[in-house]
Amino acid sequence: MLKKFIVFALILGLMVSVMMPSQALAQAPHKERHPAIRAAINALEKAKFDLEHAAHDFGGHRVEALKAVDYALKQLREALEYDRK
């Protein structure tokens, strides 16, 4: 149950980040082609840091959440790379 909640929370956070980029990115001096994806990457990197420094492993669910975050980061970075082609 906790695993499903963590994955759901990560996905929800990613969706919100993609749909509503941060103010800092929206006001960046250079034109970012995909500010929402950059914001999502930043949010996931923060989530990963928080998970890596959590007090305990939550019955192994923290490891699974870290794997999900790593996979999401990989996919977002590949999406940016794909768009450069």
Map out the domains of the chain as residue ranges.
2-84
The pLDDT of residue 30 is above 70? no
**Alpha-carbon span 5 to 23, nearest angstrom:** 28
The pLDDT of residue 38 is above 80? yes
- In the numeric block, which tokens belong to residue 19? 């749909």
Q: What region, left, alpha or beta, does residue 84 occupy, with left being phi > 0 and alpha being psi -120 to 50 degrees?
A: alpha
For the chain, the average pLDDT equals 80
Q: What is the pLDDT of residues 42-63, one digit of tens each?
A: 999 999 999 999 888 889 899 9
